[in-house]
Amino acid sequence: MSSATEETIQQASNSPGAPVANESAPENPLQKKADELGARGNEFFKEQNYEKAIELYTEAIEVCPNERFYANRSFAHFRTEAYGYALADADQAIALKNSYTKAYYRRAAAMMALGRFKKALADLEFVAKRCPSSKDAQDKYSECKKMVNKIAFEKAIAVEHQEKTVAKMCRDLEFVSIEDDYNGPKLEDGKVTLEFMKSLLDWYKNQNKLHKNFAYKILCDMETLLTTQPSLVEITVPDEEKFTVCGDIHGQFYDLLNIFEINGLPSPTNPYLFNGDFVDRGSFSVECIFTLFGFKLLYPNHFFLSRGNHESFNMNQLYGFTGEVVSKYSQNMADMFTLVYNWLPLCHLINKKVLVMHGGLFSRDNVSLDELRKIDRNRQPPEEGLMCELLWSDPHPLNGRVPSKRGVGIQFGPDVTEAFLKHNNLDYIIRSHEVKANGYEVDHNGKCITVFSAPNYCDQMKNLGAFITLKGNDLTPKFTTYQEVPHPSVRPMAYASPLSLMA
């Protein structure tokens, strides 16, 4: 946000951009101590040490509650993707001062991140009215209004969409002839081959684009394949064979190539499971998804894909995948991806002992594997229920369940994990969904493992990436970590909606 915008909204009741410093001289010693803590929090925020900033804002609130500290902590929570906490703090700031413009902006940002565009629009309208000379405020309000109208239109034609398939959409397309000067990878008799995949990886590495005829064919074939699969896919790993589980990739294609460099290309003797969030944020999501879809078509019984919370319409609109597909291909293709993602399996069961899902466990006890098998997944993720929780939930260290820091799903403790495993005769779960400094984390007495495969996430988190390998005879997880590799100078979120950059 520009300094001019900062000043304009500051005058309206503090800027919705950067954390706000002290507004006036402290009136008492407690206020002075709180302001000092808040100022230290701002310094850590500027250094992108958001956890430490949150800690200091929390201390400031405990000493002397103030809407500024809640709004600043909301901003820090937003940056760690704890959108539920960000929303709660913005609400608290507004409760303390209902004219506090910055808090409405913060709340709108959290609402947007959760896909609650209509509620965000009301807050952005408030900000726009309070800041009529702020171009940023007016633009964000306009963009959000467009998004709300677009979603309303999508709902209005939902019945038509339910009848659509990628295959039908492809039949309606006019395929152009392959240009003479196109020397990129080509499907052989309409099929993906190993030679095609090797050529595709090299082609993408050199920043080229797959011809749209082949891209459309891959999408069509993926839909056909995925519709034959259940919501819970069972995988058998023979005793001495290796199996690899990867977490979030988030459009970091060159790091995906590095995984294959370290661990080998997928094959019938080197099977993989990629556990959701293939796209968004990173600006090479198209390259990632066609690579993953290509290997799935080549090795349907040895290459597996789980749906993540970012394989959804709202997330793709906001965090860049839709914009990237439209930029590199067309809106028609972006619509096709939405339909294909609806068919991605929700979880995988390895040797009947290890359950793998993107998010986590559930808001009620005694959920069975049979219930997971019966989930009707051909839809956009709902805001509650088993499908939602598989995609959104997170572990936490204390027993029991608490509301999610994200605002969707739940947080579940070690007792919840233990009970679920016992009820279903499982050894442990693997999930992804969260950035981890070492690329992985083992929680809940070794029974809940997180793996995250996008190193230096968004070019700023400085985390390692990791993948897990295990063998069928003992299923003991082994962790391989790696750093990011260089990529072309296209920044993360280059194709994202301006609304995703609100904070």
Tokens for 80, please give them: 């760690």
Range of weakest confidence among 127-141, 153-167, 250-264, 418-432 = 153-167
Residue 239 has pLDDT above 90, yes or no: yes
Q: Which of 77, 211, 302, 310 is catalytic?
A: 310
Residue 13 has pLDDT above 80, yes or no: no
Contact by Cβ (8 Å): 37, 156: no
pLDDT at site 154: 72
Task: Name the one residue in this structure whose structure tokens are 């499971």.
Answer: 273
The H-or-E segment that residue 470 falls in is strand 465-471
Please state the rounded mean pLDDT for residues 282-290. 98
Share of the chain above pLDDT 70, in %: 92
Is there a catalytic annotation at residue 250? no
Mean pLDDT value across the chain:
93
Residue 39 has pLDDT above 50, yes or no: yes
Residues 471 and 351: their CA atoms lie apart, in Å, by 10
When pLDDT is cut at 50, 70 and 90, the band that residue 347 belongs to is very high
pLDDT at site 3: 45
Range of weakest confidence among 155-159, 402-406, 433-437, 456-460 = 155-159
Q: Where are the alpha helices (DSSP H) in 14-134?
A: 29-46, 50-63, 67-79, 83-96, 101-113, 117-130
List of long-range contacts for 419-422, beta carbons under 8 Å, 24+ apart: 419/365, 419/366, 420/361, 420/362, 420/367, 421/447
Please state the rounded mean pLDDT for residues 408-433. 98
Please state the rounded mean pLDDT for residues 351-378. 98
Instruction: For residue 55, count other CB atoms closer than 10 A to its CB.
Output: 17
Please state the rounded mean pLDDT for residues 393-416. 97
pTM for the model stands at: 0.93
Name the amino acid, one letter, at 90. Answer: A
- The model's pLDDT over 148-157, given as tens digits with 9 standing for 90+, comes to 998 887 777 6
- The model's pLDDT over 71-109, given as tens digits with 9 standing for 90+, comes to 999 999 999 999 999 999 999 999 999 999 999 999 999
